[in-house]
Chains A and B, each alone.
Chain A
Amino acid sequence: MEEKKGLAHILAIVPGLAVMVGTLYLLRTFVEPWMKDAVVFGQKGWLVQVLSLNYILLSIIAGIIYRNVFFGGKIPDWAEAGFRTTRLFIKSGVIMLGSLYTLQKLAKVGSIAILLISTFVFGTVFFVIWYGKRIGMERSMIGVMGASCGVCGVSAAVATSPGVNAKPSEVALAIATILGFGIMTMFVSPFIGKALSMSDYQFGAWVGTGILNSGQVLATCLAFNPTFAPGTAVAYGEIWNVVRVISIPFVVFIITTWACKAEAAESCATGEKMSLTKVFKDRFPIFVLGFFGMTALSSLGWLGAEGSNTLHLMRDVMSWIFGIGLVGQGAYIDFRELKRAGGKPLRVGLVAGTLKYVVALIVIMLFVSKDASF
């Protein structure tokens, strides 16, 4: 596919984007209301209450069905540019989530989030490096898997790939493995959370630590408690998620430094001296500044009072933005690619992902109080 420019570039986005928006419209207008009223096993709303199926989870499922059933495993050319707006919507949604907090509220849970996230992110990176070497995985694959499992399935894998000389196919495998793992945890986590009587605070902290993708953290939190408001699972989960996203440049630095040291210095992928400042400058995900900007506006009361119609509309728009992004994200989950990933990458992804998920659950249950912080 040739890279289009100008107006043609914008027009190329329309068909795929129309599919994403249209799908979400159908899900929110017809499918979710039908599911709320549908009687299954003699219980009205069983699909929503027991399976935690809401439009957010349905958006991801719809995307998966498009990719794996209707598109035959590859997003067609006519839709590809539109589907590549997926991360724009997810990032925009994360920025808007900043409106759920005030600076004081962030400060209350920020230190716990930083401590937990740092421990789990870097613990996982070191585990993947150790385990990957032990089972004889290629260094470049270890690099992208370490970034994927440690910090963020998609962004970190892409950010780390040039530094470790990873092939596009290795990045795709790492992303497929982690998104596939995330899909499983998305459906299982609400059951575990309810079975263990976790509070919104504990659940948000666990999911924000144990699940590796911004969209999946949001979807899982909303499956547990479908409300966008301060003090709900999604409000807590996203604080953890943002702290995790901020750690991307540090992870890129550590993995690239490790890869450079492991090879001869002259064959270092970037061919230049690594410095944390440079990595930070090049790789810092600046959209999180937008998140803090929204929190600042919320703290000043410029977005309307909590409970006001203005904030209600803002959150409704935000839920649409996330929903559109999640249809697209589902379409990046290709079961054939997951099957191809097989072998060592899949083993590393599953072991590291499960370990992080389970240990995070244990730590949260033991050390994080049920009492909400705000």
Chain B
Amino acid sequence: MSDKAKGKMTVFKTDRHEDAAAMVFVSLVVAFVLVYMAYVVPTVTIKPNQDGKLIAIKVQPDQEIKKGDLIYSFEYKDKKFVNGELQEKLAIKDVLASTNGKVLSVGVKEGDALKKGKTNIIVMDHEKGTLP
């Protein structure tokens, strides 16, 4: 009798084996991503996490930056439910460096519109062994 005929929907011996395999698989994926980002990726392009408008860029090409330094500030529409009502207001967010490194190029200027995940704000070379 085939496995399918027994109602089995996994390539593993049991569901428990499948659970364990999923955990091992994710551990490998996470390890790969962390090692890749910390040691292998040559340069990092910083892009915005949401749409907005650039109001200040605080770095320039060839500048060394440290973790926590302000890179840029942008204005965005903050949408939030407050007491059951959707409120929308303009807010400003500062984006800080998550690691040490050197700015290679700046792709925007103040007043530019930022598109989530699309606009290249800066390209940087981060310190190896840290997570950009």
Q: What residues on B are CB-neighbors of A91 within 8 Å?
A: 18-19, 22
Are A95 and B37 interface neighbours, CB within 8 A? no
Is B23 part of the binding interface, using a Cβ–Cβ cutoff of 8 Å?
yes
Are B9 and A88 interface neighbours, CB within 8 A? no
Q: Tell which of B56-64, B78-86, B107-115 binds the partner.
A: B78-86
Besides A199-B81, A307-B98, 4 more A-B contacts (Cβ < 8 Å) are A308-B131, A313-B36, A369-B84, A371-B83
Is A21 part of the binding interface, using a Cβ–Cβ cutoff of 8 Å?
no
**Interface residues of B: mostly helix, strand, loop or mixed?**
mixed
Task: Mark interface residues in A288-299 (1 if CB within 8 Å of B CB, else 0).
Answer: 011001100100
With contacts A13-B11, A84-B10, A85-B11 taken as known, whether A309 is within 8 angstroms of B83 at the C-beta atoms is no
A290 to B30, CA, bound (A): 12
Minimum CB–CB distance from B35 to chain A (whole Å) comes to 11
* Minimal Cβ-Cβ distance residue in A for B27: A290
A299 to B8, CA, bound (A): 36
A314 to B30, CA, bound (A): 7
Give the contacts of B78-121 with A (CB-CB under 8 A). 80-86, 95, 98
Are A92 and B22 interface neighbours, CB within 8 A? yes
Are B22 and A317 interface neighbours, CB within 8 A? no
With contacts A13-B11, A308-B132 taken as known, whether A303 is within 8 angstroms of B30 at the C-beta atoms is yes
With contacts A92-B22, A286-B23 taken as known, whether A313 is within 8 angstroms of B7 at the C-beta atoms is no
Q: What residues on A are CB-neighbors of B22 within 8 Å?
A: 88, 91-92, 95, 287, 290
With contacts A88-B11, A332-B9 taken as known, whether A372 is within 8 angstroms of B81 at the C-beta atoms is yes
Q: What residues on B are CB-neighbors of A229 within 8 Å?
A: 49
With contacts A95-B22, A96-B26 taken as known, whether A310 is within 8 angstroms of B11 at the C-beta atoms is no
Are A158 and B84 interface neighbours, CB within 8 A? no
